[in-house]
């Protein structure tokens, strides 16, 4: 998602629009057509490294997903119960999928022969249907999406193995808020206000997830409130309210962990110049703990 708007003395007047994935959202913020966007922070690193123009100064100012939701979702009936079982299996990878970008680091860390895993590039629209039909053994995706979508298609929950990369040594952060650098320089109080509103919204969601899921379902064509509530509870548990967040607060990073996550990205992505954590994340706009 991308956001823009006018900043008045009484507060923020925000309009929202939907971007076509993280690269599109980052490009909009770089161009100044959006002031803020929610993007994958690892996609931001790759985008900045290749685009030396408008994106070079963009930084994340708030991390929403303390743990990235990258996962392999597999059928136990196809012989996959743990990550080590993936060797020799057939893995479906949807076009534009972000999980596969961290797979080389996770495979290396767990002693898995990645070359033994057959990979097929597939359309996102057929990812769950192909797995439910047994045409492939597993797929990469986000833990809160594919697994719940598959159960909605009738695949028994006890036949699904959701192998979250975070449980196998992946240190990556996930979705984060980025801001246009010109706006951040000219109106830092507006950025701080946007983050205060984000934190306030998160507190409301944690307090009343049922209402939040109802809101989301009402805005999505064909939205299913029960599915959205299950997704939300999964995200809160696995990605947002982690042990690190409970210790250190919402929105920030652990600098040493962040540096290790950049090294893991480098297993698959050849940086022209490896960034430092401070090149990617700026904590000066965060509210007090």
**What is d(CA 142, CA 64) in angstroms, rounded to the nearest whole number?**
15
**What is d(CA 105, CA 220) in angstroms, rounded to the nearest whole number?**
35
What average pLDDT does the chain have?
91
What pLDDT, on the 0 to 100 scale, is given for residue 260?
97
Reported as a single tens digit per residue, the pLDDT across 226-260 is 989 999 999 999 999 999 999 999 999 999 999 99
Q: From residue 61, give the alpha-carbon distance in Å to each of 29, 181, 234, 276.
A: 13, 11, 24, 15
The pTM (predicted TM-score) of the whole model is: 0.91
Structure tokens at 156: 């028994």
Q: What is the arrangement of strands in the sheet containing 118-122, beginning at the earlier edge strand?
A: 118-122, 90-94, 138-142, 70-75, 160-164
Q: Could you tell me whether strands 11-17 and 2-8 are parallel, antiparallel, or unpaired per DSSP bridges?
A: antiparallel
What pLDDT, on the 0 to 100 scale, is given for residue 11?
77
What pLDDT, on the 0 to 100 scale, is given for residue 75?
92
Q: Could you tell me whether strands 90-94 and 70-75 are parallel, antiparallel, or unpaired per DSSP bridges?
A: unpaired
Highest mean pLDDT of the ranges 30-34, 63-67, 155-159: 63-67
What pLDDT, on the 0 to 100 scale, is given for residue 146?
78
């Amino acid at each position: 998602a991308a956001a823009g708007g006018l900043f008045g003395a009484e507060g923020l007047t925000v309009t929202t629009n939907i971007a076509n994935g993280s690269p599109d959202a980052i490009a909009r913020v770089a161009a100044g057509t959006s002031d803020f966007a929610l993007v994958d922070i690892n996609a931001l690193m790759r985008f900045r490294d290749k685009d030396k123009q408008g994106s070079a100064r963009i930084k994340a100012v708030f991390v929403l997903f303390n743990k990235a939701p990258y996962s392999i979702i597999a059928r136990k009936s196809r012989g996959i119960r743990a990550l080590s079982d993936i060797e020799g299996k057939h893995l479906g990878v949807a076009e534009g999928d972000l999980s596969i970008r961290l797979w080389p680091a996770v495979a290396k860390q767990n002693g898995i022969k990645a070359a033994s895993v057959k990979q097929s590039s597939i359309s996102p629209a057929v990812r769950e249907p192909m797995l439910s039909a047994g045409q492939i053994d597993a797929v990469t995706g986000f833990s809160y999406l594919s697994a719940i979508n598959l159960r909605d298609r009738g695949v028994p929950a006890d036949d699904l193995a959701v192998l979250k990369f975070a449980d196998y040594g992946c240190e990556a952060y996930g979705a984060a808020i980025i801001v246009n650098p010109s706006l951040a320089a000219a109106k830092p109080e507006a950025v701080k206000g946007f983050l205060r509103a984000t934190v306030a919204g998160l507190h409301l969601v944690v307090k009343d997830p049922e209402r939040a899921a109802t809101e989301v379902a009402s805005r999505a064509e064909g939205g299913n409130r029960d599915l959205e509530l299950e997704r939300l509870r999964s995200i809160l548990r696995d990605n947002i309210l982690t042990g690190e967040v409970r210790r250190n607060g919402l929105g920030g990073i652990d600098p040493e962990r962040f540096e290790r996550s950049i090294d893991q990205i480098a297993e698959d992505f050849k940086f022209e110049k490896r960034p430092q954590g401070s090149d990617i994340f700026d904590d000066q706009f965060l509210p007090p703990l």
